[in-house]
């Protein structure tokens, strides 16, 4: 868990109060240490904010979990925590599916010779308005393969930084976009912020950033901004 253990403990204290756990039954000593270890080992990819959200939703009856498994019964155990978080994971997975936007189908022109590739690229150069999201990613491979793009490491890093901020801005935009589940959007943004804070992007976000950077490079080539 990339957030600090102290942040996790603070959220757990609030959660324990919300589920009605009395002070004399709060986990302590070895029991508390085992609980924290269990959470970090098995749910370390979730932020403390997601833990709070999971329990809030469980208490409100918004997760697919039986009421008897939501009631704490004065025993905030590893099993109890897992029951709540596993139900949350099922919900979050479905919300993520709704959040992912369908890709616009683009014509496939993969098996082309260099002359045909240049012709296709020049077609794009003639466009009055080029939409970055619609630029075929294969253009990057074409241009680098034909030595038409000469981007040094420093410039690539600058494009990647720019792409990172643009992806973040799009995620922020999703939180206020009609038709997008705001909770799922905030979760996605929270995960992005966690990775940005750690300095390491993984999985889907890493792919989004790298693809955005490639499209930015190609966009500048098509519009004559990078020579």
The residue extents of the domains of the chain are: 5-99, 114-222
Tell me 25's DSSP state.
G
pLDDT at 227: 52
> For residue 175, what pLDDT is reported?
80
| Predicted pLDDT at 220 | 93
pLDDT for residue 98? 57
Residue-level pLDDT, tens digit, the chain, 227 residues: 445 688 888 899 999 999 988 888 888 888 888 999 999 888 887 888 889 889 998 998 989 999 888 998 888 999 999 999 999 988 887 776 655 555 444 555 556 888 988 999 999 999 888 888 888 888 999 999 999 988 889 999 999 999 999 999 988 888 877 766 777 788 888 889 889 988 899 888 999 999 999 999 999 999 987 65
The torsion region of residue 47 among left (phi > 0), alpha (psi -120 to 50) and beta comes to beta
> In this structure, what are the phi and psi dihedrals at residue 55, rounded to the nearest 5 degrees?
-75, -35
pTM over 0.95: no
**CA atoms within 13 A of residue 204's CA, in its CB half-sphere:** 11
User: Which residues lie below 8 Å from residue 27, measured CB to CB, with a gap of 6+?
Assistant: 35, 76
Q: What letter would DSSP give residue 102?
A: P
């Amino acid at each position: 868990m990339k957030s600090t253990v102290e942040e996790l403990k603070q959220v757990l204290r609030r959660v324990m109060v919300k589920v009605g756990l009395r002070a004399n039954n709060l986990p302590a000593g070895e029991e508390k240490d085992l609980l924290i270890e269990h959470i970090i080992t098995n749910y370390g990819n979730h932020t403390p904010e997601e833990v709070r959200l999971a329990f809030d939703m469980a208490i409100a009856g918004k997760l697919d979990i039986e009421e008897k498994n939501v009631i704490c019964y004065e025993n905030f155990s590893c099993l109890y925590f897992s029951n709540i978080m596993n139900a949350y994971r099922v919900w979050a997975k479905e919300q993520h599916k709704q959040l992912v936007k369908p890709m616009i189908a683009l014509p496939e022109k993969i098996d082309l010779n260099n002359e045909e590739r240049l012709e296709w690229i020049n077609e794009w150069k003639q466009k009055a308005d080029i939409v970055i999201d619609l630029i075929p990613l294969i253009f990057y491979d074409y241009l680098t393969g034909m030595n038409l793009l000469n981007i040094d490491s420093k410039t690539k890093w600058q494009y990647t930084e720019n792409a990172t901020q643009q992806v973040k801005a799009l995620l922020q935009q999703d939180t206020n976009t009609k038709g997008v589940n705001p909770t799922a959007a905030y979760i996605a943004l929270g995960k992005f912020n966690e990775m940005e804070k750690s300095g390491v992007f993984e999985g889907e976000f890493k792919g989004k950033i790298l693809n955005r950077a490639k499209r930015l490079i190609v966009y500048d080539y098509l519009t004559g901004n990078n020579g």
